[in-house]
Amino acid sequence: MTSIATAGASVTEQHAAIAGARPWQRLVLLAVGLLVALGLPWFVYPPVAMDIAAWALFAVALDLLLGYCGLLSFGHAAFWGGSAYVTGLIAIHLGVPFPVAVLGGALFAMILAVPIGYLSVKRSGIYFAMVTLAFAQMLFFIANQASSLTGGENGLQGVPRSFFGIEAVETDAFFFYYAALPIILLGMWAAWRIVHSPFGRVLVAIRDNAPRARALGYDVERYKLVAFVLSAGLSGLAGGVFALSHGFVALPELHWTTSGEVVLMTVLGGIGTLWGGVIGAGLIVMLADYLASSGFDGIGIVTGGVFVTVVLLFRRGIWGTARHLWLSRKG
């Protein structure tokens, strides 16, 4: 928690740096990001590329809550996994094009987030984290028991990715990546737009000093709830795409370890940066895939070691530290 608090303290400085960045610098950064996204399946196994994209959006969604609202959630697996199950069920039973199924899953995640967020945002710090964790584990238990609907421990199998009868997209992971990428990019754009809107600036004010924001007339709990629901919706988009990419939804998608993994990615890349979540997701997914391909079983040991090293040496995360050094050099 100390490292998260330390990293969070630098978010205001980073936010100011973004505001002061030149337009051409932002455009170059955006162009590089788009080129990497478009070229990824040419250099990485397409299903792994899709995993990177989905986890990147998931990390960005969490960063919206953690970096810009100051709320550490250990229950976001409920929205990632819940949307994955609903997306899979819609795709299986209704046979609609997969973007519709993904939107249905994201809508479910947002609806689910309303009661969870309403009860959670009244707390802060470790209490907020524990309340969200408890709700996520409740959903995990429900999914495990409702085996007739979710498949229980066997998971939800045979999830199709229908796309207007275009066989290449429906059967080839390479083409599916490009068909699903616009959904990921739309989610990224939505997160960026939220952060750079007046609403996003109020969230930062609430994170920095909630009593002062309340004294200025802002309904702090309502703003936190809206941020929570928006973060859940973006997590749902990511979870739905992930489920379709694998054609399978398993119980671990709802487990607390999934929440912990996305927190690791976000902190690793840099809290309150948005780009940091993308970098953290890419690093962790590719590292895990490389270790699994090598037959190494202790993946958690390595990723945990990387996390500890980065937290100790780069308190702002990888992207946050790199940007800080760049700005210091310019100054």
**pLDDT one-digit tens code per residue, 279-315:** 999 999 998 888 888 877 777 787 778 777 777 777 7
Please give the Cα distance from 226 to 23 (Å, whole number).
Answer: 29
Residues 211, 99: contact at Cβ < 8 Å?
Answer: no
pLDDT given for residue 122 in this prediction? 86
Burial of 32 (0-12, 13-18, 19+ CB in 10 A): exposed
pLDDT exceeds cutoff 80 at 323: no
Residues 62, 136: contact at Cβ < 8 Å?
Answer: no
- Pick the closest to residue 61 from 218, 254, 191, 248 (CA basis): 191
What residue segments make up the domains of the chain, in order of their start? 43-255
Longest Cα–Cα distance of the chain, Å, equals: 61
Q: Which helix (H) or strand (E) holds 50?
A: helix 46-69
Give the CA distances from residue 111 to residues 121, 136, 214, 229, 239, in Å, rounded to whole numbers and listed in that order: 16, 14, 26, 8, 15
Specify the 3-state DSSP secondary structure of 246.
Answer: helix
- pLDDT tens column, 16-69: 444 445 666 678 888 888 899 999 999 999 999 999 999 999 999 999 999 998
- The amino acid occupying position 221 is E
Percent of the chain past pLDDT 90, that is, above it, reads 61
- pLDDT tens column, 185-242: 999 999 999 999 999 999 999 999 889 999 989 999 999 999 999 999 999 999 999 9
Please give the Cα distance from 110 to 115 (Å, whole number).
Answer: 10
Contacts of 302 (CB under 8 A, 6+ apart): 287, 291, 296
- The amino acid occupying position 143 is A
Query: What's the CA angle centered on 79, arms 76 and 82, to 5 degrees?
Result: 135
Give the chain's end-to-end CA distance (angstroms, integer). 31
Query: What's the CA angle centered on 32, arms 331 and 43, to 5 degrees?
Result: 135
pTM to 2 decimal places: 0.90
Please give the Cα distance from 82 to 76 (Å, whole number).
Answer: 10
